[in-house]
Amino acid sequence: MAEATELMNEATGLTFEELEHWMGEHQIPRYRARQVWHWMYRKTVREWDAMRNLSAELRAQLAGEFRLRPAECRALEGISGETRKMLVGLADGEAVEAVLIPAADRVTVCVSSQVGCRFRCAFCASGQMGVSRNLTPGEMVGEVLLAIDQIGAHPDNVVFMGMGEPLDNYDALLKALRILNDGEGLAIGARRMTISTCGWVPGIERLKAEGLQVELSVSLHAPDDDLRSRLMPVNRRYPLASLMAACGDYSRVTGRIVTFEYTLIRGLNDRPDQAQAVVRWVRSIGGRVNLIPLSPVPEFSGEAPTPAAVEAFRTVLERGGINTTVRRSKGSEISAACGQLRRRVCGARGDAP
C-alpha cells in the first residue's frame, strides 16, 4: 500500500503545539498560533486571507508553507436536513466518503480513514476495491471541516466508520483524534468520538492504553467463527475468543461500554439460536448491540431480514439482558453503504476521476 504523501504540509495535520513550534522557529510571536488556531477551528475559514488579524506578510508566509484545507467536497448526495453523503476529493486526486447524519438533537459526521480498505468484509464496497493508501491526520480533520461547511455548525459526534479500518492507520488516527479533541479548537469530546473496527485486535490493545475515552464499536455480524470468517476474513487471524478478550480489556481499562454492530441477513445470521450465542459473547464483557437490517448492496447477494425476524432477534437479546437498538439504514436511498458513492462516481475499480 502506498503511504500518504503530503504534496504540501497540511495545516490541519498539526497539533496546536506543532503550530506554535513552527511560529517560534520562524521568529513569529507564539500568540499568533492561537489566533490562527481559532480562525481554523472556531471560525472554520477556508482561506488564509480570511484571517483578518494577521498581517498580509504572515498570511502569505503561511499560504506558502501550508495547505489550509487538504480536502474538498466533490459531490453531495441527499437532501438538506436528512442523511447526506459527501465525496471528498484529496490533493493527489484520490477520493473518500464522509456522511452527515442529522438527528433531532444532534449531528453526527462519519469520516473515512483510508482510501479503500484491505479487510474485504463480504458486504462492503470499500473492501472490494482494496486499499490505495492511508489518510493523513490532516485529511481526516479536513473531512470534519468540510462537514461543518455543509452543516453550518460543529458536529456533536464524529464516528470513524467510513471507508477503511481506522485501527489499521493507527498513528494518523490518534493524531487526528487529538486535534479534533483540542479544547481551543473543535473541542469534540473523546466520548463523542467513536472508532469502528472490524476486529483488528492489535489496534484495540493499543487504543486501550492511550488514556483516551473514545467509544469503541466492533462489527460482529456473526455469532460463531465459521460464519464470521466467511463474512469477515479478519476473523481467521483474530477469532471471536481473542476479539472478545481484547474488547473486555478495553472496557475494563477505559470504563467505556463496547458497542457491537450486527447486520442481520435473512437466513444467514438472523435465527433465535444465533441471537442466544450473541447474548453469551456480549454479556461476558458487558457490551451492547446495535442491530442493522441489511440494506441491499450490489456487492453482496444477501437479503434483508423480515421485520418479524428482526423483532424476534431483538427480543432474545433483550431477554438476555443486552441493551439493544435497531438502526434503520437509509443506505439504499443514498448509497450510504461505505464505498458505494466513490465507486459510482469514480468508476468500478474505484479510480479517482
Residue closest to ligand SF4, measured at CB: 127
We find the least distance from the C-beta atom of residue 131 to ligand SF4, in angstroms, to be: 8
Rounded CA-CA distance 312/262 in Å is: 14
Annotated catalytic residue within 94, 97, 139, 143: 97
Rounded CA-CA distance 146/51 in Å is: 18
Per CB under 6 A, 217 contacts ligand SF4 = no
Instruction: Compare residues 10 and 261 and give the one whose CB is closer to ligand SF4.
Output: 261
We find the least distance from the C-beta atom of residue 244 to ligand SF4, in angstroms, to be: 18
Grid coordinates representing 96 are: 473518500
Per CB under 6 A, 170 contacts ligand SF4 = no
Binds ligand SF4 (CB under 6 A): choice among 164, 185, 203, 305: 164
We find the least distance from the C-beta atom of residue 337 to ligand SF4, in angstroms, to be: 9
CA-closest candidate to residue 344, choices 55, 15, 85: 85
Per CB under 6 A, 138 contacts ligand SF4 = no
Per CB under 6 A, 117 contacts ligand SF4 = yes
- Concatenating the DSSP letter of every residue in 216-279 gives EEEE---SSHHHHHHH-THHHHS-HHHHHHHHHHHHHHH-PPPEEEEEE-TTTT-SHHHHHHHH
Strands 288-293 and 259-264: parallel
- 73 annotated active-site: no
Instruction: Compare residues 165 and 215 and give the one whose CB is closer to ligand SF4.
Output: 165
Binds ligand SF4 (CB under 6 A): choice among 36, 98, 124, 231: 124
Binds ligand SF4 (CB under 6 A): choice among 90, 198, 278, 282: 198
The answer to whether 88 and 146 are in contact (CB under 8 A) is yes
Per CB under 6 A, 341 contacts ligand SF4 = no
The answer to whether 291 and 323 are in contact (CB under 8 A) is no
Instruction: Compare residues 316 and 338 and give the one whose CB is closer to ligand SF4.
Output: 338
Per-residue three-class SS string for 80-109: CCCCEEEEEEECCCCEEEEEEEECCCCEEE
- 47 annotated active-site: no
Instruction: Compute how many other C-beta atoms are within 10 angstroms of the C-beta atom of residue 43.
Output: 11
Provide the binding-site residues for ligand SF4, judged by CB under 6 A.
117, 119-121, 124, 126-127, 163-165, 198, 338
Residues carrying an active site annotation:
97, 338
